[in-house]
Structure 1
Amino acid sequence: MWSLQNLLFILCITLRCVTTAVGVIHVTGYVGREVNVSCSYDEGYESYEKYLCKNDCGDSDVLITTSNSSKNKYSIHDDKTARIFTTTITDLHSMDAGKYWCGVTRTGKDIYTEIELKLVPDSCCDTVTKVQSYERYSESVSCPYESQYQNNLKYICRGNQPSTCLQQALIISDNKQNGRFRLDDDKVLGTFTVNISSLTQNDSGSYLCGVDRNSELDVFSAVELKVEGERS
Structure 2
Amino acid sequence: MSVLACETTEILTFTGYEGGKVEIRCPYESRYEEQNKYLCRGECPVLNKDIPVESGSPAKDRRFSLTDDRTTRIFTVTITDLRTEDQGKYWCSVRTGLGTYDKYTEINLEIKPVLACETTEILTFTGYEGGKVEIRCPYESGYEEQNKYLCRGECPVLNKDIPVESGSPAKDRRFSLTDDRTTHIFTVTITDLRTEDQGKHWCGVRTGLGTYDKYTEINLEIKPVLASETTEILTFTGYEGGKVEIRCPYESGYEEQNKYLCRGECSVLNKDIPVESGSPAKDRRFSLTDDRTTHIFTVTITDLRTEDQGKYWCGVRTGRGKLDKYTEINLEIKPGKSEYSV
2:190 maps to which residue?
89
Residue 170 of structure 1 deviates from its aligned partner by 5.1
Identity %: 28
Post-superposition Cα deviations, 1:29-54, rounded to whole Å, max 9, x if no partner, equal 12233322110112221101111112
Q: Secondary structure at the match of 2:187?
A: strand
Question: Partner of 1:66 in structure 2?
Answer: 166
| SS of match in other structure, 2:134 | strand
Instruction: For residue 70 of structure 1, give the secondary structure of its aligned residue in structure 2.
Output: coil
- How far apart are the structure 2 equivalents of 1:211 and 1:103? 38
Given that 1:156 and 1:170 are in contact with CA atoms closer than 8 Å, whether structure 2 keeps it comes out as no
Normalised by the length of structure 2, the TM-score is 0.39
Deviation sequence 1:149-186 (CA, Å, 0-9, x none): 233614487xx618999xx8757xxxx98834225844
User: Which of 166, 185, 191 lines up with 2:310 in the alignment?
Assistant: 191
Change (3 A) 1:156 1:82: closer
Distance 2:151 2:187 in 1: 13
Q: Which has the higher contact order (CA 8 A, sep 6+)?
A: 1
Q: CA RMSD in A?
A: 4.0
Q: Relative to structure 1, is the Cα distance of residues 180 and 27 closer, same or farther in structure 2, using a 3 angstrom cutoff?
A: closer
Aligned partner (choices 128, 134, 139) of residue 41 of structure 1:
139
Amino acid of the structure 2 residue aligned with 1:99:
K
Report the equivalent of 1:161: 250
Quick one: which of 98, 111, 123 aligns to 2:226?
A: 123
Give the structure-1-normalised TM-score: 0.54
Aligned to 1:220: none
* Equivalent position SS for 2:142: coil
Unaligned runs of 5+ in 2: 1-115, 262-273, 287-300, 314-320, 332-342
The answer for unaligned runs of 5 or more in structure 1 is 1-17, 129-142, 195-201, 213-232
Aligned counterpart for 2:214 among listed residues 108, 111, 116:
111
How many residue pairs end up in the alignment?
163
Larger-Rg structure:
1
Equivalent in 27, 50, 64 of residue 148 of structure 2 = 50
Q: Which amino acid aligns with 1:60?
A: N
CA contact (8 A) 1:101 1:114 kept: yes
* C-alpha distance in structure 1 between counterparts of 2:218 and 2:235, whole Å: 29
Given the superposition, is the C-alpha separation of residues 96 and 208 from structure 1 closer, same or farther in structure 2, using an over 3 Å criterion? closer
CA deviations 1:98-126 (Å, max 9, x no partner) are 00000111122321111000111122352
Q: Quick check: 2:311–2:329 contact (8 Å CA) kept in 1? A: no
Instruction: Give the structure 2 partner of residue 30 of structure 1.
Output: 128
- In structure 2, distance between residues paired with 1:87 and 1:19: 18
